[in-house]
Amino acid sequence: MPPEVPHYRSLATPLVKSSPPSSPESQFSIPVGRKYFKGNKSMAIPGRKLIHSVVFILACISILRLLRIAITTSPSAPLPPTLQHTCSTPSPACEKAPSHTPSNQTAQQKIAADEPSLTKKEFKLLSDLIKRKAPCNLLVFGAEPQYLRLSSINSGGTTIFLEDDPDKISAARAKSKTTQIYKIDYQTPAKKAYKLLEHARKSPACAPNPEMLQNSSCKLALKNLPREVYELEWNVVVVDGPSGHSPEAPGRMGAIYTASMIARAGNTTDVLVHDVDRTIEKWFSWEFLCDENLVASKGKLWSFRISGKSNSSGFCSDHMVAIE
């Protein structure tokens, strides 16, 4: 609000004297502090009145500027091009992003590719385990750049990477010509995790039976992996793929289940699962790798030790993880 201006008597009303005028100049008596000019019939505004007028004008300008800012930043203002095509739910208007603007999924994948998958402490936990086991049979779901160093740590052993991203495969092969990396396809999106877990609990085909993995009718079993995966006894299995970064992206349900089956085919196998801060990774690790088998953890990396050659009809001891 503009500042209040004290009341002053109107300048347009002169004080009239009762004595007859003696001259045109003395016809009006002007109050002290005001001057009358005959030429243009105007009066000078006093100093204090000028200050209040300037303050009033500046206040009005400030109010107008605030109104303009409020209008230009209102929710009805058009969004930038990068936000206009970002949709929380699928709709015909948002099915296709403009050619000059990358999709939100592509941007997320690029950011994820620029960041290391494991922290230093997480990688130390994994690399120290490989050093103790080497030379050994190491199977990795995923092909992050950090994991390529495991091949040299496991010198003399067998290291196989399973990856679904062609770009990561090309990058891995460019860095290491001797890396054994296979392209695989995951058909199940992460959004189906809950129904798959219900299926696994009810279906006898999903019970721990490593010998039947390739021919299993369990919906979680990965049956399109390279032949070596089913034939070798693995000492260490790492699950850090597929990405599982969105409901529509391939989830790690099958990878964790298959890793648990592979682990039970050997004598003793260490299975490490990354990103256990996410619901799917946590659920399926508890269900198929079991909390009683958890031997180490660091950050978002859990390490389980599975004893194979078991005749048990269940994965874990006599309890079931509740899903809330």
Lowest mean pLDDT among 11-25, 137-151, 182-196, 229-243: 11-25
Residue at which a domain ends, from 9, 42, 72? 72
Domain co-membership, 259 together with 198: yes
- H/E element, 210: none
Q: Is 162 inside a domain boundary?
A: yes
99 lies in some domain:
no
Pairing of strands 301-307, 268-274: antiparallel
Asked if residue 103 belongs to a domain, the reply is: no
Q: How many distinct structural domains can be found in the chain?
A: 2
Asked whether residue 124 falls in the same domain as residue 26, the answer is: no
- pTM over the 0.75 mark: no
Q: What is the pLDDT of residues 20-45, one digit of tens each?
A: 444 444 443 434 444 444 444 444 54
Q: What is the pLDDT of residue 49?
A: 67
Q: Which helix (H) or strand (E) holds 46?
A: none
Is residue 318 assigned to a domain? Answer: no
Judge residue 150's burial from the number of C-beta atoms within 10 Å of its C-beta, 0-12 exposed, 13-18 middle, 19 or more buried. Answer: buried
In a domain, 112, yes or no: no
Count CA atoms closer than 13 A to 57's CA, side-chain side.
Answer: 6
Fill in the DSSP letter of residue 53.
H
Read off the CATH number of the domain in which 272 is found: 3.40.50.150
What pLDDT does 282 receive? 97
Same domain, 164 and 245: yes
286, 276 contact by CB (below 8 A)? no
What confidence score (pLDDT) does residue 210 get?
A: 82
137 and 261 share one domain:
yes
* CA angle centred on 284, ends 198 and 163, rounded to 5°: 115
Specify if 96 maps to a domain. no
Burial 67-89 (b: 16+ CB within 10 A, else e): eeeeeeeeeeeeeeeeeebeeee
Same domain, 146 and 230: yes
Do both 275 and 182 map to the same domain? Answer: yes
Pair 273, 140 in one domain:
yes
Pair 162, 17 in one domain:
no
CB atoms within 10 A of CB 144: 23
pLDDT band, residue 71 (cuts 50/70/90): low
In-domain check, residue 17: yes
Burial grade of 265 (CB within 10 A; 0-12, 13-18, 19 or more)? buried
For residues 33 and 170, membership in a common domain is answered with: no
Alpha-carbon distance 203 to 287, whole Å? Answer: 14
285 is a domain residue: yes
- What secondary structure letter does DSSP report for 276? T
Whether 192 and 271 map to the same domain: the answer is: yes
Q: Is there a single domain that holds both residue 209 and residue 150?
A: yes
Write out the residue range of the structural domain in which residue 201 sits: 118-307
Is the domain of 163 the same as that of 259? Answer: yes
Q: At what angle do helices 193-202 and 253-263 cross, to 10 degrees?
A: 40
Of 135, 148, 141, nearest to 174 by C-alpha is: 148
